[in-house]
Amino acid sequence: MFSNKMNYHDYLHIDQLLGCQELESERIGRKAHDEMLFIVVHQVYELWFKLILTEVSSVLEIFAQDRIDEKQMDLIVARLQRVVAIQKLLVDQVGIIETMTPLDFLEFRDMLIPASGFQSLQFRQLETVLGLKRENRLLYGQAAYEQSLKPDQRSEMVALEGKATLFERVEKWLERTPFLKMRGFDFWQAYKNTVENALKRDIEIIDQNPVLGAEDRARNKTMLEGTMASFRALFDEKEYNQARSAGEWRLSYQAVHAALLVQLYRDQPALQLPFRVITALQDMDEMFTTWRHRHALMAKRMLGSKVGTGGSSGYQYLRDATDRHKVFQDFFQLTTFFVPRSKLPKLPPEVERELGFHYSNSGNA
């Protein structure tokens, strides 16, 4: 079993790994001490991106199945939670970069032009695999994102864009949820009445609040009326699809219903793992948003209003991408229509039994 005499140093290719830090400042005879920090942190980023891609790709394969076994659902949650744990390290690494002062960075910054972190192939792959669509991407330097990549990498990205994404696989999985209508219980009609009553009550509270001035009262009522209109669209497939075409939603009509049901009745045994999956996807989206935000602040701290080494405003791009480059935004948006547990429609006994795993395997999502 141990005849190959495996060695730690050789197994991890330590010589090759530690030989990858070639300082540009040293090459031209003006060695800048902090360039080593800069290189190591970004190389570590790329290693973490590789592991995240590995985990997300494995989850994508599981979701591609027509039927997912409960054991695999737990595996999906575990791997997504691993990704989130890695993302927390990505955010923490920004603090390590910030131990370098702006003046230290300027010692070697100009030597890096026109290299830029925007040219990270792995991060573009990760965004695409998760489900960020070309039409939702910000232009970088007035050009499509792949123009910053090497020619052979551009064709690789175009090919990847033609493959199913995690968002699309999750959407299909949600559409197979078997509990939206069962044995005469129409969840949506019952929930529609509950939420509408709650929103009407909120409007009454605004009308009766003596503290609010006329302007505040009118503004709050307008916001609530807009929320009510948006909520009612969830019960009209044609109206919902119009809102979806306008970019207000990404999930299909069936999938968004399933996602809401799962989150509202998450305590039911059959919905606990699906709820953990949705939560992990939200965590992952939130952590990438947090990382972009920290990265943007770091760029502002280091460069102020200067353009980045790639030729455009690194801070401006990263700040705008923080809001724009989200994938599972629908899960966050659904919380607008949550009500207290005490006001949730009570499930009929037969439905509760089915959600307690007393249902046929043929109907499993």
Cis amide linkage into residue 114, ω under 30° from 0: yes
Residue 358 confidence (pLDDT) above 50: no
Residue 3 confidence (pLDDT) above 70: no
Q: What is the mean pLDDT of the chain?
A: 88
Residue 320 banded pLDDT, cuts 50, 70, 90: confident
Which position has the higher pLDDT, 49 or 158?
Answer: 49
Question: What is the mean predicted confidence (pLDDT) over 192-215?
Answer: 82
Could you report the per-residue pLDDT of 24-78, keeping only the tens digit for each?
999 999 999 999 999 999 999 999 999 999 999 999 999 999 888 878 999 999 9
Residue 362 confidence (pLDDT) above 50: no
Nearest residue to 299 via CA among 287, 314, 319, 321: 314
Report the amino acid identity of residue 333. Q
CA distances, 64 to each of 43, 135, 276, 291 (Å): 32, 24, 19, 29
**CA atoms in the 13 A half-sphere facing the CB of 312:** 15
Q: Say which residue the tokens 């949650």 belong to.
A: 77
State residue 20's pLDDT score: 96
**112 CB contacts (<8 Å, ≥6 apart)?**
24, 309
Q: In terms of DSSP bridges, do strands 181-182 and 185-186 run parallel, antiparallel, or are they unpaired?
A: antiparallel
The dihedral built from the CA positions of residue 238, 242, 245 and 249, taken in this order, carries a sign that is negative
Could you report the per-residue pLDDT of 228-247, keeping only the tens digit for each?
888 888 888 999 999 999 99
Which position has the higher pLDDT, 253 or 361?
Answer: 253
- CA-based R_g, the chain, Å: 25
State residue 359's pLDDT score: 43
Are 171 and 178 in contact by the 8 Å Cβ rule? The answer is no
Identity of the highest mean pLDDT range in 143-157, 158-172, 219-233, 331-345: 158-172
Residue 357 confidence (pLDDT) above 70: no
- CB-count exposure of residue 20 (10 Å: 0-12, 13-18, 19+): exposed
State residue 267's pLDDT score: 92
Residue 365 confidence (pLDDT) above 60: no
CB contact burial 101-136 (16+ within 10 A = b; e otherwise) = eeebbebbbebbeeebbbbbbebbbbbbbbbbeeee
Percent of the chain with pLDDT over 90: 55
Tokens of 237: 């497939």
Torsion of CA 309, 310, 315, 316, to 10 degrees: 150
Cα angle value 3/4/7 (rounded, 5°): 125
Report the amino acid identity of residue 70. E
CATH 1.10.340.30 fits domain 30-363: no
Could you report the per-residue pLDDT of 160-191, keeping only the tens digit for each?
999 999 999 999 999 988 766 666 667 777 78
The dihedral built from the CA positions of residue 47, 52, 55 and 58, taken in this order, carries a sign that is negative
Nearest residue to 311 via CA among 75, 72, 113: 113
Residue 18 confidence (pLDDT) above 70: yes
Could you report the per-residue pLDDT of 184-197, keeping only the tens digit for each?
667 777 788 888 88
Question: Rounded CA gap, 22 and 46, in Å?
Answer: 16
Could you report the per-residue pLDDT of 89-136, keeping only the tens digit for each?
999 999 999 999 999 999 999 999 888 888 999 999 999 999 999 888
State residue 2's pLDDT score: 63
Residue 264 banded pLDDT, cuts 50, 70, 90: very high
Which position has the higher pLDDT, 85 or 320?
Answer: 85
pTM of the model: 0.88
Could you report the per-residue pLDDT of 285-313, keeping only the tens digit for each?
999 999 999 998 998 888 887 655 554 56
